[in-house]
A = this chain, B = another copy of it.
Amino acid sequence: MTSHTELYVAVQQFYAQQMHKLDRRELKAYADTFTEDGVFGHLNGPEPTRTRAAILEFLYEYHKRFETDPMQRRHHFSMIDVRQRDDGSISSNLYSSVFITRPGRKSELAASCTLEDILVWEEGQLLTKSRLIQIDADL
């Protein structure tokens, strides 16, 4: 049984590795941090994307915009509220800030968001089973 202390740190370490992958545009490696039946979407948005394969397809499509508008994104997660759930999964509610830097330009705050994650252990590894994003500008 993992203590809350161990779990909290495992979640922080998982998020660091997960978001480094996304920000390096290792889209396949990022998609692999979701479960096979993983869910990704926006609160108050269209139906979320379901399954790891569909998430990867969505990511390829989404990242096309960076071909004509090159930028380095950095996702910063903070204020992580981690709770063990009775079914063995983990709820993780947190803030995400996205900083972007276009080549030779000043860095800027691109978005302030909240995330509602459900994480699960699979073979000793944390994976994201569900991630629902709320962008503050949409509130």
Contacts and interface: CB of A to CB of B under 8 A. Distances in A.
Range for the number of chain A residues in contact with chain B: 35 or more
Contact of A109 (B8, B79, B108, B136): B108
B13 A103 contact: no
A112 B100 CA distance: 8
A137 B104 contact: yes
A10 B81 CA distance: 11
A19 B80 CA distance: 10
Contact of A9 (B5, B93, B112): B5
A106 interface: yes
Contact of A106 (B13, B94, B103, B137): B137
A62 to B, nearest CB: 20
Interface string A69-90: 0001011111111100000000
7 contacts: A8-B13, A9-B9, A12-B80, A20-B93, A75-B79, A106-B137, A107-B111
Interface of A: 3-6, 8-10, 12-13, 15-17, 19-20, 72, 74-82, 93-95, 97, 99, 101, 103-112, 136-137, 139
